């Protein structure tokens, strides 16, 4: 700790072991610290208690339909890019109990929901993932509708972001208005250098956390290295989508074009892309009853526009009965109707849908194919 004046947008430097102290500070304040962990040959988001839990010395090889996590003998904690796991599983759990009923003496009585959700501190949130959380905010915290559980978790959430210095070949955040550099939406932002972290403060909570650490003012040399590394990261992410701003009009004006059939030819309609997408928010409700018929509960569960029953009609049938119609819905929603509804893109360019597609479909290539066909 020094006498250096802390304020929002101040950047300080801490040693890498000092990240342990930050975890202790968060834990002591009642937060459950969640971060990237190397597990089952992938990177998942789980509880961490020490920096040794982080994927030290790991990196990833990512391509369409391929994800490989391996040790490279390096000295970085945040070099490996995310796997299929997303932060939304903590903000909107895959299954949430809404209410329960129990039959006592042939009378049904409501059982109050007693689930207690912890306060979370997310460690190592990438800029594209911050953008995805903002999209979830747009959907779940509105004037006309508020998901009360989501809002409660979100209001208490602390975000420790990390600049993305090693983007994968499947990353395309810059093509959809993003950047590998986190610009806002965080309490603290880390940039990992060889022997230290540069820590940028983004909120009053961030000031309070840094005040409890051993820190020093970031010197000009470290800041120059940070700028150079961010420039290299931005150059590595190629602007792969042609005429991106024209996409909404092109897509919506060509809903019956035969090119949709060509693009959908490889799609298995498995829903893997929606499962790993950090911005997808579709859900359903399910009633679950025990074998004796004496207890039942209603759950809110994740759903997918690739699920044929998602648009099922009473009496049979559904409004999107084919793979082509379901793929068209997903693409037009992310890149067209979402822009009209909310004034921004529904895709953050994280590339998960490319990596985890078993048919190796690359959404960037498909969008360019569609554009060429429509023109």
Residue 206 has φ and ψ, to the nearest 5°, of -65, -40
Q: How far apart are CA 136 and CA 89, in angstroms?
A: 12
Helices (H), 69-219: 88-91, 127-140, 148-156, 204-210
Q: What is the pTM of this model?
A: 0.93
- Consecutive sets of 10 residues in the chain, 375 residues long: mean pLDDT of each? 81 97 97 97 96 96 95 94 95 92 93 84 98 95 92 96 96 94 97 97 97 96 97 90 85 95 94 95 92 93 89 74 93 92 90 97 94 89
Per-residue pLDDT tens digits for 242-285 = 778 889 999 999 999 999 999 999 999 999 999 999 999 999 99
Per-residue pLDDT tens digits for 153-191 = 999 999 999 999 999 999 999 999 999 999 999 999 999
Q: How far apart are CA 358 and CA 64, in angstroms?
A: 8
**pLDDT > 70: percent of the chain:** 98
Least Cα distance to 191 among 235, 134, 232 occurs for 232
Going from N- to C-terminal start, the domains of the chain cover 11-236, 244-374
Q: At what angle do helices 148-156 and 127-140 cross, to 10 degrees?
A: 140
Q: How far apart are CA 234 and CA 231, in angstroms?
A: 5
List own/partner pairs for 29-33 with CB under 8 A and 24 or more apart: 30/118, 30/119, 31/118, 31/119, 31/120, 31/121, 31/158, 32/118, 32/119, 32/120, 32/121, 33/121, 33/123
């Amino acid at each position: 700790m020094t006498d250096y004046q802390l304020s929002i947008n101040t950047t300080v430097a801490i040693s890498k072991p000092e990240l342990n102290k930050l975890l202790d500070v968060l834990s002591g304040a009642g937060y459950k610290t969640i971060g990237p962990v190397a597990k089952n040959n992938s990177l998942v988001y789980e509880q961490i208690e020490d920096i040794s839990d982080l994927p030290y010395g790991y990196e990833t090889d990512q391509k369409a339909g391929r994800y490989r996590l391996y040790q490279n003998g390096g000295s970085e904690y945040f070099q490996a890019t995310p796997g299929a796991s997303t932060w939304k599983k903590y903000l909107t759990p895959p299954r949430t109990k809404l209410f329960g009923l129990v039959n006592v003496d042939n009378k049904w009585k409501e059982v109050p929901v007693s689930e207690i959700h912890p306060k979370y501190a997310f460690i190592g949130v990438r800029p594209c993932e911050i953008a995805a959380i903002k999209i979830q905010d747009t959907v779940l915290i509105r004037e006309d509708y508020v998901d009360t559980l989501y809002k409660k978790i979100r209001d208490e959430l602390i975000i420790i972001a990390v600049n993305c210095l090693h983007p994968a070949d499947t990353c395309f955040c810059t093509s959809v208005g993003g950047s590998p550099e986190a610009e806002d939406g965080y309490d603290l932002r880390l940039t990992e250098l060889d022997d230290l972290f540069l820590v940028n403060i983004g909120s009053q909570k961030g000031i309070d956390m840094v005040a409890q650490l051993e820190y020093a003012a970031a010197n000009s040399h470290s800041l120059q290295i940070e700028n150079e590394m961010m420039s290299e990261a931005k150059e590595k992410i190629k602007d792969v989508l042609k005429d991106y701003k024209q996409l909404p009009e092109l897509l919506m004006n060509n809903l019956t074009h035969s090119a949709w059939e060509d693009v959908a030819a490889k799609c298995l309609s498995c829903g893997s892309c929606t499962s790993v997408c950090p911005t997808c928010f579709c859900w359903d409700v399910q009633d679950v009853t025990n074998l004796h018929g004496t207890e039942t509960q209603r759950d809110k569960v994740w759903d997918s526009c690739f699920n044929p029953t998602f648009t099922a009609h009473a009496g049979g049938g559904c409004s999107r009965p084919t793979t082509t119609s379901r793929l068209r819905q997903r693409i037009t929603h992310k890149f067209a109707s979402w822009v009209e509804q909310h004034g921004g893109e529904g895709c953050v360019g994280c590339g998960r849908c490319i990596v985890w597609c078993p048919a190796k479909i690359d959404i960037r290539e498909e969008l360019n194919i569609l554009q060429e066909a429509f023109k």
